[in-house]
A and B are shown apart, each in its own frame.
Chain A
Amino acid sequence: MNFDFKDVFPILHTSFSLPFKEVNDYKLIETVNSINQLKLAHTIQALVFHKVENYMRETVAPEFWFHFNLSNDVEGFSQFYKAIDLLHNYFTQFLYLMRNVNVLRERSRCTEAVYGEKNAVQVLKVIIRATLLSQLPSEHNKIIEHFYETGLKMNDGHFQEKVCEVCLKDSINCRCLNCFYETNRKMVDLELLEPLVGQVLTSLIYTHIENHISKTCKDNFDNSFINILEMWLDNFIINWLHKVYYCGQSSESQDYVTIFKRKLTNFLYETYTKMRINQLFNIIIEYPESLPALEDLGKCLPKTDLRPLLTKKLQKAMETRLLHPGVSTPDILTAYVASIRSMRVLDPSGLLLEMVTQPMHQYLRSREDTVRCVVGSLTEEGLNDLAEELVKGDAVHVDENGGSDEESENWENWMPDPVDIDRNKSSNVRRTSDIISMLVSVYGSKELFINEYRTLLADRLLSQFSCDTEKEIRYLELLKLRFGDSQLHYCEVMLKDIADSKRINHHIKQDTDYTEKNFSMSAMVLSAQFWPPFKDEKLELHNKIVSQMEAFTGAFETLKGNRTLSWKNHLGIVDLEIELPDRTLNLSVTPVHATILMYFQDKNEWELDSLSRVVHIPPTVLRKKIGFWQSHGLIEEVNLNVFCLMEERESNRANLNVDVVVEDYESESIMASTQDQREEELQTFWSYIIGMLMNLDSLPLERIHQMLKMFAFQGPTIECSIQELTQFLDRKVREHQLVFSGGLYKLPKGDM
């Protein structure tokens, strides 16, 4: 037997050279048969693989990784190309050897798997992979990253310059793209693509997606992007991946790309959603222009798990940007309305809305002017969100028991609550997305809201003094639709008073017994029971006016039997014409101002105190009122507390007087403030409290509150929290009307 199995498996020579010298098939069969006769197949096979492993470890792997040592970016592309080329070369040369091994295995009926593989070619691949990865240098990612980044750029068509950045050749002669695909194909051949570059590729594409999203849609809320982005992902990234994975060759890589695509789509959604969530505050502020962005977000939320993040981020943004003393209440309200509307788009169930607006509710509750602002903007003229909402109109359900019939009406559209919201925090109280009812429910009671509206209406009616109430009536009707007739009954009477006054004035003017001596007089005749309490201010009018008022009252008494008038001297408006030697002034002023001027007409010089006695106004207030005329240059303080009428204006003095602070009387409400009203309400409890303490000597706070609850709190508005009661009682202690000791309230001894 003259054969040398080393010729068939040249690697077994102590020294061999590549490429292997091939033997013909005949010799191969011969040799294999002899090996089988000697029962050496197993040993030979093991020996061959051992040799291959050694060769890979000692020669191929170092040579391969040597290319990765360079950190030069420009060369990175070609280095990687060369490295893969080299590896593939070795691989093809070893294929011959593996074919022979396969023949040996076949002939010897050897079915034992080596490294889990039965085909020698597969074993070779395993060996290559294992050897390479066992010698993985730490910096290898850099080159791979650069290689694929360049590839991605080429795909994007970034190299539009004449000269290719990589090979510095003309774009016509540049073979870089081909090199790129060739490298990938070789790696697929070697089954090296996924183990070697999979991770790098993923993170690279992630970065690419992030950049693309922030580039295309960062500051643009006016367009929907989600479809565009998905298309982009399909057209560019997935297509490119198909090329990279050399698809069409094997179904395996096709599957891989499908999985990759799923992963990337998810990432795309997540990135986009995160970006939108971070911008959500701005999006809300820009509502409704930002509607497309919101709709996108609404589509993305069910696909991603980011609802908790959304609530957290948005609440945070609200706190830092909206809910602080630097923002005016109307602005907060605008934002509030916008967020209600936006959340409606995002989540029709209203749960999200509730979570997000909770801090806003709390904050609005702490602002004193909230109700006033709400009512104000509700009834304001012009384009206004709230007014629009009002017109849309539906009854407000502020009742605690909630369950309105509406819900059952469209049961077909019912959707379960989103599951990824913190259950504990959400209450089961009715959820509504009606803006006005939400605003009203900030305070929890319609009454407070209505009261505020009443005060506002009273202010407006008495400051305009016009009988044009058409607009107010319209708003009242709208409010009635929401709050019900009974609540707004008082306001209805108020408006009717204004209309009636017009008639009454008309009748009185026609009365032959009623004469107007010097000036025309008219009056707003109000039904005191239905108006909010007026601020109590005293004012003694000038005789001329008083007599005219008496005449008016007389005429009224004849007109309406058994009824008389009580005048609110300080309220009203007076048109004056003031003739001075050098000019004539036409002014509309308050009765106080008019009265002051009339007294000065009688007597040129007044001391503050004596005038104060005549008009029954405290000197400090009076001084402020005189200030009004000082600013017009009509009156001057010649000495301390002595005021004098200035007939002629001296130019230099007039200039000086400009500085005098003019009281802005229009901005002040003529109605008693809500706080004063509340005070009065609490005062009604006082008699109950005294009664209790007389009978039971001393009581703790809780008992007093309990007993009041039982006996005194009967009306809907008359209620009093324990804190409020504490404040009230503490004040009484300060005023020495109560004694507080050892946690018990007592009446002072002398009082009994």
Chain B
Amino acid sequence: MKVTIKNWVGVATWRWVANDDNCGICRMPFDGCCPDCKLPGDDCPLVWGQCSHCFHMHCIVKWLQSQQVNQQCPMCRQEWKFNNK
């Protein structure tokens, strides 16, 4: 007997490779989206700081804009710098 697979359609779920499940700012799952967005994934990406914490991009940007003086990571209070891996 010879079995040939002509086509295999699998089902997979995608997820962010992050050190946490939820965004530290909006407390929503990373795999979902921030409160302002409707569509997850490309439309609501994650960003990492050099301190290794990550957030929804929209969330951290909003946070940084609200900070007048220092741009700090809301988790560890280190200076926030985007980690462009």
Residues of chain A at the chain B interface (Cβ within 8 Å) = 462, 465, 489, 492-493, 496, 500, 518-531, 545, 548-549, 552-553, 556, 560-569, 571-580, 591, 594, 597-598, 600-601, 634, 645, 647
Contacts and interface: CB of A to CB of B under 8 A. Distances in A.
B15 A566 contact: yes
Given A525-B14, A529-B32, A520 B6 contact: yes
Interface string B5-27: 11111111111111000000000
B4 interface: yes
A26 to B, nearest CB: 121
Interface stretch (B34-42, B58-66, B67-75): B34-42
Nearest to A569: B10
Contacts of A519: 4-8
A578 B3 CA distance: 5
Given A564-B15, A598-B3, A496 B10 contact: no
Contacts of B16: 562-563
Interface string B28-51: 010110000011111000101000
13 contacts: A492-B38, A521-B7, A528-B15, A528-B31, A529-B31, A562-B17, A565-B12, A566-B12, A567-B12, A572-B9, A574-B9, A576-B4, A577-B4
B33 to A, nearest CB: 8
B23 to A, nearest CB: 12
B15 A573 contact: no
Contacts of A597: 3
Contact of B8 (A489, A492, A572, A579): A572
A520 B5 CA distance: 8
B1 interface: yes
A740 B3 CA distance: 59
B77 interface: no
A389 B62 CA distance: 44
Contact of A522 (B1, B4, B7, B38): B7
A575 B3 contact: no
A560 B85 CA distance: 13
B1 A645 contact: yes
Given A519-B4, A519-B5, A580-B1, A524 B11 contact: yes
Nearest to A594: B5
Nearest to B41: A527
Of all A-B residue pairs in the complex, the 6 with the closest CB atoms, nearest first, are A571-B11, A519-B5, A528-B13, A529-B32, A565-B12, A575-B6
Contacts of A523: 9-12
Contact of A556 (B14, B18, B32): B14
Contacts of B17: 562-564
Contacts of A556: 14
A450 to B, nearest CB: 16
Interface of B: 1-18, 29, 31-32, 38-42, 46, 48, 85
Summarize A's interface: helix, strand, loop or mixed. Answer: mixed
B71 to A, nearest CB: 22
A571 B32 contact: no
Contacts, number: 143
Q: Which has the most chain A C-beta neighbours within 10 Å: B5, B8, B85?
A: B8
Contacts of A496: 39
A577 B8 CA distance: 12
Contacts of B13: 525-528, 531, 565-566, 568
Nearest to B38: A489
Contact of A576 (B6, B18, B39): B6
Contacts of A531: 13
B20 to A, nearest CB: 13
B1 A647 contact: yes
A504 B38 CA distance: 20
A538 to B, nearest CB: 15
Contacts of B40: 493, 527, 529-530
A579 B14 contact: no
Contacts of B2: 578-579, 601
A553 B17 CA distance: 13
A126 to B, nearest CB: 95
Contacts of A566: 12-15
Contacts of A493: 38-40
Nearest to A564: B17
A574 B40 CA distance: 28
Nearest to A521: B8
B39 to A, nearest CB: 6
Given A528-B31, A562-B46, A567 B4 contact: no
A568 to B, nearest CB: 5
Given A500-B41, A562-B16, A526 B11 contact: yes
Contacts of B39: 492-493, 496
Contacts of B29: 529
A526 B10 CA distance: 11
Nearest to B2: A579
A22 B6 CA distance: 127
Contacts of A529: 29, 31-32, 40
Contact of A518 (B5, B12, B15): B5
A453 B22 CA distance: 27
A598 to B, nearest CB: 6
Contacts of A591: 8, 10
A191 B16 CA distance: 104
Given A562-B48, A563-B15, A580-B1, 17 more contacts: A462-B11, A492-B38, A519-B5, A520-B6, A524-B9, A525-B12, A526-B12, A527-B32, A528-B13, A528-B15, A562-B17, A574-B9, A576-B3, A577-B3, A578-B2, A601-B1, A634-B1
A574 B5 contact: yes
Given A520-B7, A579-B4, A568 B32 contact: no
Contacts of A579: 1-4
A568 B12 contact: yes
Contacts of A563: 14-17, 41
Nearest to B11: A571
A577 B6 contact: yes
Given A489-B38, A527-B41, A578-B1, A545 B14 contact: no
Nearest to A598: B3
Nearest to A520: B7
Contacts of A568: 10-13
A527 B14 contact: yes
A191 B18 CA distance: 108
Given A528-B31, A597-B3, A647-B1, A574 B8 contact: yes
Contacts of A564: 14-15, 17
A396 to B, nearest CB: 21
A522 B9 CA distance: 5
A465 B8 CA distance: 11
Contact of A574 (B7, B15, B31, B48): B7
A579 B6 CA distance: 12
Nearest to A648: B1
A523 B14 CA distance: 11
A562 B1 contact: no
Contacts of B31: 527-529
Contacts of A524: 9-12
B11 A572 contact: yes
A521 B1 CA distance: 22
Nearest to A645: B1
A645 B8 CA distance: 23
A553 B12 CA distance: 9
A574 B1 CA distance: 18
A283 B61 CA distance: 65
A465 B9 contact: yes
A575 B5 contact: yes
Contact of B10 (A560, A572, A575): A572
